[in-house]
Structure 1
């Protein structure tokens, strides 16, 4: 047969069908489910509708041309094929890079299992391409604390086996190794877990941002209710301020004031860092966090530019329309730890087909690549535009059968996952820890910005001379407070030296009262 019957909906959608019929699609950081009609049929996620509901802008051909003009390079396939399909202020980030030369990239991952799946790799693959093209610093956040809070909340306060805080930290370590295996440059990449890193200037931003968000605002954005634990309600502030360069002074050559190497002089805020803009590549279900963030950027003590976003669609579950790959259902996803045989079996047995019911009907009427999961996966991972278009054309005409489409998909995914696994084997604990070490990152940005360097945000961690980390004045004399403190310290040292000096002529010890 040319087509195979779908084996069911992704878990989030299936439960929705069982509980009630006739529901609208639900997309937020904790739910991804397509619309269910009154007959219980699951519809594909309507991304045009999301653009309207979320108030984001579509990514257009003009944006792609502008991107290629600024970078001098061809747009990534995920942009060309509109799999990253919408944005907030992406055009402004391009302007900033062209004029001033730098910005910060930020993205993240919620570690819910020991291995990432194909869907998890999509924003990281795209982020790596952006880092390579723009040569800018990148911060990757592993939200182990959020996953613990969410899972315990979902389990009504009970802590189940494999879902303790330590377990999510272990998942984070494994996911970090997965991320590193995708090829990020260690000189300009910082990766951390919330449980390990929070403190210092980061937590200072968290505390201030928490004061700007009410319970009603958090409930409206994330669907929280009166039974939601307070940790999950407050968590959003952490994910929001993680997009601020000012949360990471070490990465830009400034001092933090974390224990045990507490430096009182570093307690002051580093205002130049608040001028650096940030671009976030992520799936559109994460957009509510950064909508809240953008509304409050200018209310911080040191106002920050509105964070820019470029947003992706979800990699469809093997079962097809209405949901995304789920780490909780092994038959909905291709995991980066799957063997070649597991990949083959999952695609052949579970991948939703756009083919017809019979070979004769398929040859006559053709298939629909727009809903075919094997073709969808190829659109994400096959780089050759001409081959992809040829596959679609032959499928529509009936020349290419469902089984043949699946075989092409299996070969491409086996190649991608196999190459990943080879690199993953070389990621040691020591390599992981180097990516997680707070240190000054090395990057160049745009080598030929159009605006004078003195008017630019700090580049490569070197602020303009008059700011110098907000710690020294341009004349090298320090701030007024620092000069006063230095004078007092000098007087104190002089006084102590006088006390310790022996009286002339008697050779005795100095008097304690001298």
Structure 2
């Protein structure tokens, strides 16, 4: 057993109270939990330390090679570049695919803004690649109930935002024959099996455990304390009888940012006791704010974020005014010392959205040598984002109310396993 596997075994065998330490600040001052992400370092979160704290496994070359061998196609650049850097039980999912056994994908969105920003797109881009590659069903949870419980939103407004966000998600190109999108506020009352699984999870986790995992205090209302069971329930195939025909043995793979991992550590702890397979996970790093990698992009501050609805002019203005630069104070100094790609936000964004590996490598070399100035690097990013978001906006225009209704109607899905 590898050292990483030993850590995983210890974590999976640890009590939920023992696992709560993963939410605390580490010695570098990093804070990572479902509601707050920050770092004292300009280069952002130390992800190697985070893997150790959370007890997950690093996505290494061996795993990437196996993905390519199993699927017969190159891995997504998010995987090649370490944007998705950590996993739980991905090897088991690959084995199931090799053995032609079914599994499904599950991801989600907490709708708190009118439109998605670039950081929100990351898990959906990865999920679409996984769906296209493995040809499996996908469920997407819109946690409008969560946003009502945590934000200053009415139920009606949270539900409206869920439907607006769903249109942005559909515009990522998901196949309606393979994809079910649901709002918690709309769906849970329609599906007794989903609610049954929520209740099973709720009875399996104590109040002390939930406080330890999520840091809830005595003054937090009971809605927050009960909510983690809602996010756990889509991990179980029996929550969707119209897709899986009542089967409870179909596992899922969850692509998500690593700040969501506490929900699924809890889920993985209770799943065997309920007779369900543990969900597998793919963890992404955080998409940094324009102001630097110390925090992730926020939907509540438009100056930290680029939204999928931004115009070409808005994109250009935000990048030029707010994108933190790794350049030097003067042109002469920059030519002599070169720029710092590790802190430069324009370069960091290009690692997400510029698919050409050779071009990205050349930009890095030219910027690091001082040949490429910050203004030219920002222009490169602006061109990439303007093109990408123009295409997203065109697809969004094609999403009608009937399209939305199709994706959000409970129904059988058609894939190689279903």
Structure 2 residue 31 is the aligned partner of structure 1 residue 26: yes
**How far is the alpha carbon of 1:101 from its aligned partner?**
3.6
Once residues 411 and 78 of structure 1 are traced to their aligned partners in structure 2, the CA distance between those partners, rounded to angstroms, is 20
1:201 to 193, 199, 216: 193
- Aligned-residue CA RMSD in angstroms? 1.2
Task: Give the alignment of 1:384-395 within 5 angstroms.
Answer: 384-395=356-367
Once residues 81 and 272 of structure 2 are traced to their aligned partners in structure 1, the CA distance between those partners, rounded to angstroms, is 34
Once residues 352 and 197 of structure 1 are traced to their aligned partners in structure 2, the CA distance between those partners, rounded to angstroms, is 42
2:277 alignment counterpart? 305
1:221 to 213, 216, 221: 213
Once residues 49 and 220 of structure 1 are traced to their aligned partners in structure 2, the CA distance between those partners, rounded to angstroms, is 21
Structure 2 residue 174 is the aligned partner of structure 1 residue 189: no
Range that drifts further, 187-196 or 23-32: 23-32
Q: Which runs of 5+ in 1 are unaligned?
A: 1-21, 36-40, 153-162, 255-269, 445-458, 461-514
2:241 alignment counterpart? 249
Structure 2 residue 69 is the aligned partner of structure 1 residue 69: yes
1:397 to 366, 369, 384: 369
**Structure 1-normalised TM-score?**
0.75
**How far is the alpha carbon of 1:174 from its aligned partner?**
0.5
Deviation per residue, 1:42-68 (Å, 9 max, x gap): 662111111111001110011110000
Once residues 381 and 42 of structure 1 are traced to their aligned partners in structure 2, the CA distance between those partners, rounded to angstroms, is 21
Distance 1:126 1:23, change over 3 A: closer
CA contact (8 A) 1:30 1:222 kept: no
CA contact (8 A) 2:193 2:238 kept: yes
Once residues 102 and 281 of structure 1 are traced to their aligned partners in structure 2, the CA distance between those partners, rounded to angstroms, is 17
Once residues 186 and 171 of structure 2 are traced to their aligned partners in structure 1, the CA distance between those partners, rounded to angstroms, is 21
Name the count of aligned residue pairs: 390
Structure 2 residue 155 is the aligned partner of structure 1 residue 165: yes
Q: Secondary structure at the match of 1:333?
A: coil
Once residues 317 and 216 of structure 1 are traced to their aligned partners in structure 2, the CA distance between those partners, rounded to angstroms, is 34
Task: Give the alignment of 1:415-426 within 5 angstroms.
Answer: 415-426=387-398
Q: Secondary structure at the match of 1:70?
A: helix
Q: Secondary structure at the match of 2:242?
A: helix
Once residues 102 and 318 of structure 2 are traced to their aligned partners in structure 1, the CA distance between those partners, rounded to angstroms, is 43
Once residues 230 and 176 of structure 2 are traced to their aligned partners in structure 1, the CA distance between those partners, rounded to angstroms, is 24
2:257 to 283, 302, 318: 283
**Structure 2-normalised TM-score?**
0.92
Deviation per residue, 1:320-359 (Å, 9 max, x gap): 0211110000000000010000000000000001111110
